[in-house]
Amino acid sequence: MKISVIGTGYVGLVTGVCLSEVGHEITCLDIDSRKVERLNRSESPIYEPGLEDMMKKNIDAGRLDFTDSYETAMRGRDIVIIAVGTPQADDGSAELVYLNNACRSIAETMTNDMIVVTKSTVPVGTNEHVKNEIEKHHNGSYSVEVISNPEFLREGSAIHDTFNGDRIVVGGESEQAVEKVKSIFEPFGVPIIMTDLRSAEMIKYASNAFLATKISFINQLSNLCERIGANVESVAKGMGMDKRIGDKFLNAGVGYGGSCFPKDTSALSAIAQSVDYDLTIVDSVIATNEGQQRIIVDKIKKVFPDLENKRIAVLGLAFKPNTDDMRDAPSIKVVRELVDAGAEVYAYDPIASENARTYLPGATNYMDSVEEAIDGKDFAVIMTDWKEIKEYSPESYAKSLTNPVVFDGRNCYGLKEIENTGLEYHSIGRPTVYNK
């Protein structure tokens, strides 16, 4: 089928590439002409394992192309997928300006009846608004059906998730449109759930809020474990063996970040407030996470009360491994606090350093390896559990750091691994290892 995808970010580009991989003819559109130029040179503007190779393959096969022209992208298409950003607005709700602009551009350039599929995460009721907006502005007498098709991929494993997801949600009021959209996703081999528009929109927020709740729950318990002498890793393992609880998303750490959980929990809370309902669980999850994102700073200050002129290695900057995305990364808060306290920060991330420059204080120094970052520094802080960092030998810290102290915000090492390494090791929700 001939489909256009609007917005070539993490979601739009991955969706477009994967749909072309299963044989659809895809045009991806973005208003960012520089992005489109890079894409036309077969270069992915984002780091996502496997994406660039699959993209090149489908461009060469003639099934995938890129444009910045709505006229080109709309011509003769009967399905268009919207995947533009819906970031957090100042009042905490979802900012819909990019979506509204996309609706207007679709309306002004469509040449026939269309199904408009909203993949962006949008507040409940937005798809009805999308239909109205397009019908209000379009220049012919074409009909528009809207479908809510929220996306569940994770950054860093987006291609894998697309072909191995737990479900695809297709929500709509027109049975014919629902069936047609269902048919384009069938080749992915993922179970498809069909529902109404508002429930589909809600499934997305409910899923992210529930996962965020699991993380804030285990993070609060980790803080309690530290105070009562339990080990949160064992607690999570024991809890997770109960299939009703499940063992996923119970890793304690410096809180969740990224472009989704923080903004989507906040948007869900705003949705509830808009109908005079207090979603107290979600509000508490958000507050817990805000505290947890900087909890490592409290741990550091207990050991090093004066950070003035301390030279600190910060390992990992991205909000999680296998991505270059810095949106709402816990490292942002932590590096800012360290710099504000007078410390010099020497940061290393395998992929995200370039993006990090726009988020972190100007004084941050960017290093090219773990070795370079820790060499001669006062102590080290781990913020992202990159494989490379998890596999780095604990003994090497003890040799390179002036004070052999590591603050690990992602519990990268088992406590046994640290024994007899000469390292003082502070982690999350587990006893400190002193090795004195």
Ligand X SMILES: O=c1ccn([C@@H]2O[C@H](COP(=O)(O)OP(=O)(O)O[C@H]3O[C@H](CO)[C@@H](O)[C@H](O)[C@H]3O)[C@@H](O)[C@H]2O)c(=O)[nH]1
Ligand Y SMILES: NC(=O)c1ccc[n+]([C@@H]2O[C@H](COP(=O)([O-])OP(=O)(O)OC[C@H]3O[C@@H](n4cnc5c(N)ncnc54)[C@H](O)[C@@H]3O)[C@@H](O)[C@H]2O)c1
Contact footprint for ligand X (CB under 6 A): 121, 151-155, 208, 211, 215, 249-251, 253, 256-258, 260-261, 264, 319-320
Which stretch in 1-9, 130-138, 373-381, 392-400 sits in contact with ligand Y by CB under 6 A?
1-9
Partner touching 367 among ligand Y, ligand X, none, CB below 5 to 8 Å by kind: none
Q: Which amino acid is at 235?
A: V
**Binding of ligand Y at residue 335 (CB under 6 A)?**
no
**Binding of ligand Y at residue 73 (CB under 6 A)?**
no
In the complex with ligand Y, the residue whose CB is nearer, 285 or 315, is 285
Q: Which amino acid is at 297?
A: V
Which residue of 3, 5, 6, 184 would you call a contact of ligand Y, by CB under 6 A? 6
**Binding of ligand Y at residue 88 (CB under 6 A)?**
no
- Smallest separation (angstroms) from ligand X to the CB of 150: 8
- Per-residue contact string for residues 242-271; x = within reach of ligand Y by CB under 6 A: -----------------xx-----------
Of 205, 213, 257, nearest to 93 by C-alpha is 205
Q: What residues pair up with 82 in beta bridges, in sequence order?
A: 6, 118
- Smallest separation (angstroms) from ligand X to the CB of 216: 9
The residue sitting closest to ligand Y, measured at its beta carbon, is 9
**Binding of ligand Y at residue 320 (CB under 6 A)?**
no
Binding residue positions for NAD(+):
30, 35, 86, 121, 155, 263, 327
Which residue of 84, 250, 313, 367 would you call a contact of ligand Y, by CB under 6 A? 84
What whole-number distance in Å separates Cα of residue 384 and Cα of residue 380?
A: 12
Tokens of 287: 């507050």
> Beta-carbon neighbour count of residue 436 at 10 Å?
5
Which stretch in 26-34, 353-361, 383-391, 415-423 sits in contact with ligand Y by CB under 6 A?
26-34
What whole-number distance in Å separates Cα of residue 212 and Cα of residue 199?
A: 20
Annotation marks residue 412 as catalytic: no
Which stretch in 56-64, 149-157, 307-315, 379-387 sits in contact with ligand Y by CB under 6 A?
149-157
Which residue of 51, 83, 159, 418 would you call a contact of ligand Y, by CB under 6 A? 83
- Per-residue contact string for residues 97-126; x = within reach of ligand Y by CB under 6 A: -x--xx--x--------------xx-----
Partner touching 83 among ligand X, ligand Y, none, CB below 5 to 8 Å by kind: ligand Y
Give residues 27-56 in contact with ligand Y (rule: CB under 6 A): 29-32, 35
- Smallest separation (angstroms) from ligand Y to the CB of 208: 8
- Smallest separation (angstroms) from ligand Y to the CB of 41: 16
- Smallest separation (angstroms) from ligand X to the CB of 311: 26
Of 153, 186, 154, 187, nearest to 170 by C-alpha is 186
Partner touching 12 among ligand X, ligand Y, none, CB below 5 to 8 Å by kind: ligand Y
Q: Which residue has the tokens 């509000």?
A: 283
Of 175, 168, 4, 169, nearest to 78 by C-alpha is 4
- Smallest separation (angstroms) from ligand X to the CB of 206: 12
> Beta-carbon neighbour count of residue 356 at 10 Å?
22
In the complex with ligand Y, the residue whose CB is nearer, 96 or 360, is 96
Angle at 240 between CA 200 and CA 152, to 5 degrees: 25
Which residue of 4, 9, 181, 345 would you call a contact of ligand Y, by CB under 6 A? 9
Q: Is the dihedral of CA 220, 224, 226, 231 positive or negative?
A: negative
What whole-number distance in Å separates Cα of residue 420 and Cα of residue 87?
A: 47
Question: DSSP letters of 37-69?
Answer: HHHHTT--SS--TTHHHHHHHHHHTTSEEEES-
Tokens of 204: 């997305």
Backbone φ and ψ of 65, nearest 5°: -145, 170
DSSP category for residue 298: H
What string of H, E and C letters represents the secondary structure of 230-280?
A: CCHHHHHHHHHCCCCCCCCCCCCCCCCCCCCHHHHHHHHHHHHHHCCCCCH
Binding residue positions:
30, 35, 86, 121, 152-155, 204, 249-253, 257, 263, 320, 327
Catalytic residue among 18, 103, 225, 260: 260
CA 246 to each of CA 206, 210, 243: distance values in angstroms, whole numbers, following the listed order: 17, 13, 5
Q: Is the dihedral of CA 303, 307, 312, 316 positive or negative?
A: positive
Binding site for ligand Y (CB under 6 A): 6-12, 29-32, 35, 83-86, 98, 101-102, 105, 120-121, 151, 153, 155, 259-260
Known catalytic residues are 260
